[in-house]
Amino acid sequence: MKNLIKIENLKKHFDNDGVITHVLHGVSFEIHQGEFVAIMGPSGSGKSTLMHILGFLDKLSEGKYFFDGQDVSQLDDDLLANMRSQKVGFVFQAFNLLPRTTVLDNVMLPLMYVKLTGVERIKRAKEAIESVGLGHRIQNLSNQLSGGEKQRVAIARALINQPSVIFADEPTGNLDSKSGLQVMKILQDLNLRQGHTIILVTHEKYTAEHAERVLRMKDGLVIADEKVANRILADGASELAK
Amino acid sequence: MNFKDNIHNSINLFRQNKILAFLTMLGIIIGIAGVIVIISAGNGAQSLITNQIKSQGSNLVAIFPGNGEDEGPPVSVMGIVITTLKYDDMKALKDPLRAPDVLDYTGYVRGSANASWQGNKADTSYVGVSASLPFIEDTAVQAGSFFTAEDENGLQKVAVLGSDVKKDLFNDRDPINELVKIGKHSFRVIGVMRERGTAGFTNQDNQIYVPITTAQKLLSGINYVNFARVKISDETRIDAAMDDIKEILRERHSIDIGAPIDFDVRSQRDALNALFKVTSAVKFFLVAVAAVALLVGGIGIMNIMLASVQERVREIGLRKAVGAQSRQILSQFLVETVVITSLAGIVGIFLGIFVSYLLSLIVQSFGYDWTFSISVFSVLLSVIVSSLIGFIFGLVPARRASRLDPIEALRYE
Ligand SMILES: Nc1ncnc2c1ncn2[C@@H]1O[C@H](COP(=O)(O)OP(=O)(O)OP(=O)(O)O)[C@@H](O)[C@H]1O
Ligand SMILES: [Mg+2]
């Protein structure tokens, strides 16, 4: 399989008015195209920080980052924005939908920053909304939705740019177990049926076991990198797993 | 994000907070309406002044008592009573040798009085003038005749009514040879002036014309004139004639050459310039007021936009997280403010046109020859100024928005 993400000795520190906080102390790993990777670890171990760097939301302090074979260690703000726009999709724990805005407009938001006709935008957004099973909710306002539905809208929004990789930072953290499972099923579907690369941060062992590989972090380092032995397969996904 | 999306966003902003948006726009609306009204009224006033002065003939010279400065209106116009200008001074001006260009003159003595005839009353004013007034002011009687130099010399108690006074006292009846009471005195009506309209700030049709000598002696009890007008043979001779007049008056008032004079000789051109100066000063003041309104409006918009940025930090973070570049956020907020101020500008333009129109109706109802006009220039200026204000005052909030860090913005509570 093709190498999508490769980091070498990646370090990150924050400098808040001279107060330096070292968060990542030299992390190295590779992620292949089509992989479903879970990142686990205690609170404060640097999972989100790592994910922000991988997702072009933040810059690394030291080390190397190759994306799709290209060195992206030193991109400037505009190039980072371009990478976010074209290569990655995000799903956040807090959903982050625009309030008082329709599902359709929420999902279309990333397309506002790419050159597309209005018709094409709507067509793509509708497809994405259908794919997360919310076709009947397309004109609802975001605040009229349940938590699970909101997160599915967020997934549709992450898909709309046809990204190379989807980052999900504790996507089930704010959901009850039933909605959480539904979200995991969708993510697993995207991975198994459509070949999307997915990187998931989670605290829950059960959620992590939907992935095929787990990276364990502690104090800013990856301390384990293992294959999931008994991968949990959501309903209907079993026959697709190799 | 293209321009259409930006506009769409701004309109959504309005839908979500109508009252706030309107209040924000108010300063701009007032300021822009002010600009439109000022320019329209300024043009109206100046056309009014020129029309009136032209209608009185451009080869007139006015003489006021008191030494006015060269700039600004004569001091006697300000309500100060000066008694140095005598009617005999005027008579001396008609000297074909020393002032060959002076055709004729009239003095003026003004006062207000109640006039009555058989129980009909008119609250009016009298003006004592010379027999030459119809010639000087280019007017005529519509009935009867104007008084003569003999009437003037004999201090006759004869009166020529302005057309409004005639209507008030006699309605449709023939007033000629009737006795009208002006104050305590009875005057015989010998004529009615034709309709003349308003000049300066007086309605010339609501006046009674009497011989200046009679007015001085019986009605005002004074021995001077309020001012005088002199008709010059030709417009090109005005400067020469003014010099002659000054010379004669200086001699009569025993003023040495170079010493300050106690009278003021002005041509219509001077009057025009003086009035233009006054209207320009008023215009300048109003423009300043409008500018302050626009400035305050602009600052108001800036504050609202800053608050809006603060309120939408998470939205901005999200937009950046899904791929918006800083400059796209910048232009989104800039377009938003420009749309708001331009909308306000458009509302202000319509309000300004409406107010200017009302103003013209009001002024016209007082009998002035006032033309309602809106210059394309003022509309263009307003559009440009209002969008420029949006741009200038939108810059700070838009920059603040565009510089937000996506991660911190998304974490913002
Ligand atoms: N902007 C920042 N400035 C300073 N320190 C920061 C900043 N962002 C994160 N940190 C610190 O970096 C460490 C790792 O944070 P991070 O959010 O990556 O942890 P996490 O593993 O995602 O934790 P959680 O499971 O609670 O989400 C924390 O100690 C945090 O305080
Ligand atoms: Mg985290």
Asked which of A131, A162, A193 is the last residue of a domain, the reply is A162
Which CATH number covers residue A135?
1.20.1580.10
| A8 plus A82 within the same structural domain | yes
B186-209 confidence digits (pLDDT tens): 999 999 999 887 666 678 888 999
Check CB contact under 8 Å for A110 and B323. Answer: yes
Three-class secondary structure assignment of chain B? CCHHHHHHHHHHHHHHCHHHHHHHHHHHHHHHHHHHHHHHHHHHHHHHHHHHHHHCCCCEEEEEECCCCCCCCCHHHHCCCCCCCCHHHHHHHCCCCCCCCEEEEEEEEEEEEEEEECCEEEEEEEEEECCCHHHHCCCCEEEECCCCHHHHHCCCCEEEECHHHHHHHHCCCCCCCCEEEECCEEEEEEEEECCCCEECCEECCCEEEEEHHHHHHHHHCCCCCCEEEEEECCHHHHHHHHHHHHHHHHHHCCCCCCCCCCEEEEEHHHHHHHHHHHHHHHHHHHHHHHHHHHHHHHHHHHHHHHHHHHHCHHHHHHHHHCCCCHHHHHHHHHHHHHHHHHHHHHHHHHHHHHHHHHHHHHHHHCCCCCCCCCCHHHHHHHHHHHHHHHHHHHHHHHHHHHCCCHHHHHHCC
B236, burial (CB in 10 Å: exposed 0-12, middle 13-18, buried 19+): exposed
Structural domain for A126, as ranges: 96-162
**Comparing B35 with A72, which gets the higher pLDDT?**
A72
Going by pLDDT thresholds of 50, 70 and 90, the confidence category of residue A24 is very high
Instruction: Answer yes or no: do A1 and A113 share one domain.
Output: no
Worst-scoring range by mean pLDDT, A7-16, A43-52, B336-345? B336-345
Question: A150: exposed, middle or buried (C-beta count within 10 Å: 0-12, 13-18, 19+)?
Answer: buried
Q: Which residues, at least 6 apart from B289, have a Cβ–Cβ distance to it below 8 Å? A: B34
Q: Give the closest of B1, B315, B324 to A98, CB-based.
A: B315
Bridge partner list, B12: none
Residue after which a domain boundary falls, among A134, A162, A190: A162
Average pLDDT on B236-241 reads 87
Give the angle A104-A108-A111 at the CA atoms, nearest 5°: 165
Whether residues A82 and A107 share a domain: the answer is: no
* Model pLDDT, residue B4: 67
Share of chain B above pLDDT 70, in %: 89
Query: CA Rg, chain A, in Å?
Result: 18
Q: Phi/psi at B51 (nearest 5 deg)? A: -55, -45
**Distance (Å) from CA A234 to ligand 1 centroid:** 31
- Mean pLDDT, residues A39-65 taken together: 96
Q: Which helix (H) or strand (E) holds B158?
A: strand B158-161
In this prediction, residue A242 carries a pLDDT of 44
Q: What is the pLDDT of residues B354-397, one digit of tens each?
A: 999 999 898 888 777 788 888 898 899 888 989 999 999 999 99
Asked if A57 has any chain B CB less than 8 Å from its own CB, the reply is: yes
- For B20-36, give the DSSP string: HHHHHHHHHHHHHHHHH
How close A57 gets to chain B, by Cα (Å)? 7
State pLDDT tens for residues B102-125: 999 999 999 888 888 898 888 888
Whether the per-residue pLDDT at A92 is higher than 80: the answer is yes
Measure in Å the smallest separation between the Cα of B328 and chain A Cα atoms.
Answer: 8
Q: Are residues A67 and A143 in the same domain?
A: no
Nearest CA to ligand 1 atom 9: A49
Query: Residue B68 has what pLDDT?
Result: 57
Nearest CA to ligand 1 atom 25: A43
Partner-chain contact A96 B410, CB within 8 Å = yes
The overall average pLDDT reported for chain B is 85
- A72 and A8, same structural domain? yes
Tell me the ligand closest to A39's alpha carbon. Answer: 1
- What's the number of domains chain A is made of? 2
User: Across residues A216-230, what is the average pLDDT?
Assistant: 94
Cα separation, A188 vs A151, in Å, equals: 15
Per the listing, tokens 């839908």 go with B15
Domain borders along chain B are: 3-52+274-411, 83-261
Ligand 1 pocket, Cβ-based, cut-off 6 angstroms: A 14, 16, 21, 23, 41, 43-49
Residue B271: per-residue pLDDT: 73
In the structure, what pLDDT confidence band is assigned to residue A218 with cuts at 50, 70 and 90? very high
Mean per-residue pLDDT for A95-103? 92
Question: According to the model, what pLDDT value does residue B17 have?
Answer: 65
Q: Distance between CA B54 and CA B57 in Å, rounded? A: 5
* DSSP classification of residue A141: B
Is the distance from CB of A51 to CB of A199 less than 8 angstroms?
A: yes
The answer on pLDDT for A176 being more than 80 is: yes
Asked which of A73-82, B50-59, B124-133 is least confident by mean pLDDT, the reply is B50-59
Closest by Cβ to B328, choosing from A52, A109, A113? A113
Atom of ligand 1 nearest to the CA of A45: 21
Residue A77 and residue A196 share a domain: yes
Residue-wise pLDDT for B74-95, tens only, equals 666 666 677 788 888 888 888 8
The answer to whether residues A3 and A32 belong to one domain is yes
**How many helices (DSSP H) and strands (DSSP E) are in chain B?**
13, 12
Q: Which residues in chain A are closer than 8 Å to B324, comparing Cβ atoms?
A: 81, 85, 112-113
Give the side-chain half-sphere CA count within 13 A for B165: 32
